[in-house]
Structure 1
Amino acid sequence: MTVQPMSAKEVAGKVLNKEHVFLLDVRNENDFNDWKIEGQNFEYLNVPYFELIDGIEPIQDKLPTDKEILVVCAKEGSSLMVAEMISEAGIKASYLKGGMKAWSEHLELVKVGDLNDGGELYQFVRLGKGCLSYMVVSNGEAAIIDATRMTDIFINFAKDIGAVITHVFDTHLHADHISGGRSIAKETGATYWLPPKDAGEVVFDYQTLEDGENVIIGNTTINIHALYSPGHTIGSTSFVVDEKFLLTGDILFIDSIGRPDLAGLAQDWVSDLRETLYKRYRELSEELIVLPAHFMIIEELNDDGSVAEKLGTLFAQNHGLNIDDENEFRKIVTENLPPQPNAYQEIRETNMGKINPDEEKQREMEIGPNRCAVR
């Protein structure tokens, strides 16, 4: 029985289609508990590879014989060897090509909606990391918001649809992943925008993104309104696109709200966070479709694979938007924080341009789950 590799793209399809998958993860227990491939109908077995070096007999009675088994490890090698042993036992098995590193870097493209003038808005879903990036397209021009470091997918997609990338934005200085915004701007000649209050230590040139700034994409009426919305960082900026979509960065998620501590200033920024969520956002139309820069859990994905919900629905259902007592809000936001992202200080310095790690180092820095939200 031949062992087949399964690409990250194929695994993503199973996640989005809510397929039943038996996943055997052969990384160590701590790595598995910290971060794994999330699927609503996934069944998991975690057995470290070193326990299976002499064969799969210790776990053979736990392996299903009526469904395909997907074996996963960090880089691929261990999962391939275990999958081969399972196959030799007469059980169908495949392995994740490129391991969790490949899963971390895979992006799924979803069309979120149409704009009033005939343009489109696309969402790039990084399933393994919970990152969400966006492309606004109008009349042959494109703007990218919160790009990941895997820049080829943005540049190639724009070419495929015949659009020229003219503007690249970051809603804030990211601490959980390395931004591809500056690289895309350099390669395409686009203008790179960054909130100046987050850019005090950056060592490169950028266009200042400030409250009330309007940027026209194409020669149409699509304006991107910058809305100063501090709290996750001091410069966090939201966008209202086409009076229809609200890109919230890491301030507001579908099921949670942004954490204020990634620059070590939780007590200082928690008031900003509350003002943004409870005052600034309350002044906006509840019909706006919220498009965050991250998602926390797989259940936040809609049936089409997108992560999006009306602002009014979030006002009603998101617990972080319904804490009336300000002291209770402060306590919840400062005391219910998950561990900080892996290598977040190095990631911030990379996004400031202070350090320039090679590609393999960047992969290592980003390994792990998204941790931008208050639990």
Structure 2
Amino acid sequence: MNPAGRWKEILRPYYLRWIYFPLAPGAEPPAFRLCWRHPFEKLGAGRSAGGPLEAFAGPSHAPDVILYPMTDWHTRIQRSQQLARAFAALGHRVLYLNPHLGRQFDTVPLFDREHRVSCLAGNIAELHVRLPREPVFHHRRLSAAEARIVAAAIERLTERIGPRPALQLVSFPVWMETAGWLRREHGFPVIYDCHDLLEGFPNVAPGLLEAEQDALAAADLVLFSSRFLAEHWLERRPEIEAKMLLVRNAADAWSAGPWLMRVLRNLCLDRVRQRSRRVECPLNEEVAVSDADAAPDAADERRRAVLLWDAVAGLTPLQRGAVVLRYRHDLPYVEIAEQLGKSVDHVGVLLHQALNVLRASPALRAEVLS
């Protein structure tokens, strides 16, 4: 950024609040006011009884979802809100970041540097991170220092509500450095949700268009909202085919349903299994790794379930999704193809490859397939 741009960012928070918004009624975006209608508290404060986070809880086995959106929660309902509500309905705590990075605050940074958090609904919390320059999120990439501030705020929030394994769903490339840092530090996998052709938006900075290509390469899993977007990026980045899924938009509920939640959750558990005290088996039964009190037969079954889960977790996301849909949900090939955005023949190939991998597992041959 050139010196003029830096000075513009430094002065903008004061100019907007002290001059522009007071002299131009209606110029302030409504979302800047609407977000504070929900109960909120300062993130740096200790946990208080009766505060907005008091009721923010979900089942202990469900990983948190950190959702980095492209849109403000308080504008019209779009894909990011749909995803957040779908995860929350399945018992996950959702940490939804406000994308304005301080511009929504009514005070200038000089007098109030505290991050805030509010409870939107049920298991959904909104994190209001305050960056000193309050950058417009679609104008430039965050600096390393800014990305670290966002990551530290997320860490602080998870400490407040009780840390759990988490997966990160990134809907705009400006967040990728933060997500990458948390993946390195905590093992939280990164899913990039490609739901718009960003080059069609004139206000998205060229640097962010370049950052999206980095995001597609770096993500553990890539979601596409349409076949057009998937084909568009496959022509440019064919290597992402092994880690992509098609998840179409839905008006009222996330049409992908629980099967994709399972795929994403498995991806999360792949990353954090070494930190976890419990392991999920393919039949969604939570079992203890060591259970001395179990009957011998039950203990054998549980050991085999853990071995099978370890083998399934080693499959690629597409192979794992095909296996879950076929052998857990008993879907026909045609429906699996529609869910995964692949041809029926490709589904057959995925299942064939997956079964070959499972059959080749020495542990499974000895314990499960014998």
Please indicate the TM-score interval, normalised by the length of the shorter structure: under 0.3
Greater helix share, structure number: 2
Query: Structure 1-normalised TM-score?
Result: 0.26
Query: Structure 2-normalised TM-score?
Result: 0.26
